[in-house]
Amino acid sequence: MLTILIEPNSILRTRCQEMTREEIINPATQKIIEEMIIAMRQANGIGLAAAQVGIAKRIIVVDQADGPQAYINPHVTDHSKQMVESEEGCLSVPGVWGIVKRFKKIRLKARDRQGRLQQLKATGLLAFVFQHEIDHLDGILFIDKAERLEKGDKATSEL
Ligand code: ZN
């Protein structure tokens, strides 16, 4: 079972590695994806990056209306000019939440768990989740960007 790392931890501050299609379809990677989905659900999160479970690869999982999806090598290709306030928490920074400015709309490219390239659009909460998780892949935490941090629990998005 995967354990979610808590800041401070050097893996949370690492730039994670891109994966080739061959690496993605490898059964070991498929198992990691399955276990990341389980870890995300057990923690009641709506997104999780591999770095958060100690794996420095560019893999994220996102819980969506149609079920959890994995995205590999995700990157933003275009975004709205407009930035909006996102109220966020992070499974790796428990007991803290904050306001982060995020792009309202993004376009991104990623590979799915079969290694196929896909293009996506995201807006609102889903756009915030992608931006938060992609930051994790570059060793960036929301507390680095937050304009205001508050202690305590709040009904906010745990990513
Ligand atoms: Zn997070």
Summarize pLDDT for 64-79 with one digit per residue, the tens: 888 999 999 999 999 9
DSSP H or E run through 29:
helix 27-42
79-128 confidence digits (pLDDT tens): 999 999 999 999 999 999 999 999 999 999 999 999 999 999 999 999 99
Residue 156 has pLDDT above 80, yes or no: no
| Annotated catalytic residue within 7, 87, 133, 150 | 133
Residues with CB under 5 A from ligand 1 (ion): 90, 159
11-33 confidence digits (pLDDT tens): 999 999 999 999 999 999 999 99
CA–centroid distance, 21 to ligand 1, in Å, is 25
156 neighbors 91 (Cβ within 8 angstroms): no
7 an active-site residue? no
Q: Are strands 93-103 and 148-151 parallel, antiparallel or unpaired?
A: antiparallel
CA–centroid distance, 59 to ligand 1, in Å, is 13
In angstroms and rounded to an integer, the radius of gyration of the C-alpha atoms of the chain is 15
- Residue of 31, 56, 43 lying closest to 4 (CA atoms): 43
35-54 confidence digits (pLDDT tens): 999 999 999 999 999 999 99
